[in-house]
A = this chain, B = another copy of it.
Amino acid sequence: MTLKFGVVGTGAIGKEHIKRITSSLCGGEIVAVTDVNQLAAEQVVEQFGLNAVVYPDDKSLVAAENVDAVLVTSWGPAHEQSVLAAIEAGKYVFCEKPLATTAEGCMKIVEAEMKHGKRLVQVGFMRRYDSGYVQLKEAIDTHTIGEPLMIRCAHRNAKVDANYTTEMAISDTLVHEIDVLHWLVGDDYKSVQVVFPKRTKHALDHLQDPQIIMMETNSGITIHVEVFVNCQYGYDIQCEVIGEEGVANLPEVPSVITRKNATLGASILTDWKQRFMDAYDKELQDFMDSIKTTGEPNGPTSWDGYIVAVTSDACLKAQQTGNKESVTLGEKPAFYKNEKEISKTV
């Protein structure tokens, strides 16, 4: 009953997931690895004491008979071909973001998966597994605050390095909000606009920081996301949903409360990895559990990956034009609807 993983890409995030599967989670095993740097792949096998074969490339790894599921943690531009190969072979896939670097690439995956006939792919948008977002969704779904009308978010990092560009505020940072927010309210994006507030002096010259991304959903919900990646004070994720009957906020990260030096204080995280540590564990555990019990993964789908790609493209355009840009998605295929959505349609 153990799910046997082949890992494509043994860099930082690949190693994190390998460690997770081998020493914290239940029901998975790493049996195959590959990396463009073969030596790196071999070192990982040794480092974690894996009983795993090192393959020369993703194709051969995917083809290995004992591989049940492919963990795609390679460089972003390489994702698409690995995912397609895995689908082709009828293997499950857990793919880190992005599913593909273009909307077209994502659509190819969607089509391949639909052709295969059942869900194989889960995209690594871990926030849906964060207990705070889960509580927030439950508050919305149980009508605690009535129909959502507006959402205000902040995505703040203490600082970024010199490689971080204005576009990455969308493609690396905002993507998490793009995924989690449409899931939260069960609605799709209609348009986006980007505003550039006063630049912080802590941003390098090439970088516009902060940015405010305004998104509108089909039902008219207005969403404002502040992306501020040199905020200095810490890693801080905020989300407030304003509904017809009330307002709900994502919980603060729990912290000892101290009274010291005339200050009542709680700690704010500085390392983003700590913030969603549990969510990373849960997404992979759920991937394994769901496949075992239902034969399909249960998390963010290829279609969700496609939504993020299309919406990101619109945001990148909006950064350039300063205008409101529309987000054009096709109709969500019945294949990707969950039971609730299907019953709504019927």
Please tell me if the beta carbons of A254 and B256 are within 8 angstroms of each other in the complex.
Answer: no
Please tell me if the beta carbons of B236 and A259 are within 8 angstroms of each other in the complex.
Answer: yes
Give complex CA distance A145, B257 in Å: 11
Give complex CA distance A266, B267 in Å: 12
Please tell me if the beta carbons of B289 and A244 are within 8 angstroms of each other in the complex.
Answer: no
Given A197-B222, A262-B234, CB of A250 within 8 Å of CB of B244 = no
Give complex CA distance A198, B219 in Å: 7
Which of A20-28, A78-86, A172-180 makes up part of the contact surface? Answer: A20-28
Please tell me if the beta carbons of A200 and B246 are within 8 angstroms of each other in the complex.
Answer: no
Interface size class of A (residues with CB under 8 A): 35 or more
Give complex CA distance A25, B27 in Å: 9
Please tell me if the beta carbons of B253 and A144 are within 8 angstroms of each other in the complex.
Answer: no
A115 lies within 8 A of chain B by Cβ: no
Please tell me if the beta carbons of A256 and B267 are within 8 angstroms of each other in the complex.
Answer: no
Q: Mark A218-261, 1 if CB is under 8 A from B, else 0.
A: 01111010101001111010000010111111111111111111
Distance in angstroms from A291 CB to nearest chain B CB is 14
Which of A4-12, A35-43, A130-138 makes up part of the contact surface? Answer: A130-138
Distance in angstroms from A145 CB to nearest chain B CB is 6
Give complex CA distance A220, B197 in Å: 6
Give complex CA distance A4, B154 in Å: 47
Which residues from chain B contact A214 at a C-beta distance below 8 Å?
195
Give complex CA distance A212, B87 in Å: 45
Given A25-B26, A150-B197, A289-B23, CB of A260 within 8 Å of CB of B244 = no
Distance in angstroms from A266 CB to nearest chain B CB is 5
Distance in angstroms from A277 CB to nearest chain B CB is 11
Which residues from chain B contact A145 at a C-beta distance below 8 Å?
258, 260
A149 lies within 8 A of chain B by Cβ: yes
Give complex CA distance A315, B294 in Å: 52
Give complex CA distance A240, B135 in Å: 24
Q: Mark A293-331, 1 if CB is under 8 A from B, else 0.
A: 000000000000000000000000000000000000000
Q: List 7 A-B contacts (CB under 8 A).
A: A25-B26, A132-B256, A149-B228, A150-B210, A231-B246, A264-B268, A265-B266
Give complex CA distance A202, B149 in Å: 12
Give complex CA distance A37, B12 in Å: 50
Given A195-B214, A198-B220, A265-B265, CB of A255 within 8 Å of CB of B248 = no
A57 lies within 8 A of chain B by Cβ: no
Give complex CA distance A158, B136 in Å: 22
Please tell me if the beta carbons of B226 and A247 are within 8 angstroms of each other in the complex.
Answer: no
A102 lies within 8 A of chain B by Cβ: no
- Nearest to A151 among chain B residues (CB) is B197
Please tell me if the beta carbons of B234 and A259 are within 8 angstroms of each other in the complex.
Answer: yes
Name the 9 nearest CB pairs between A and B, nearest first. A246-B260, A198-B220, A197-B222, A251-B254, A265-B265, A247-B259, A249-B257, A135-B256, A264-B266
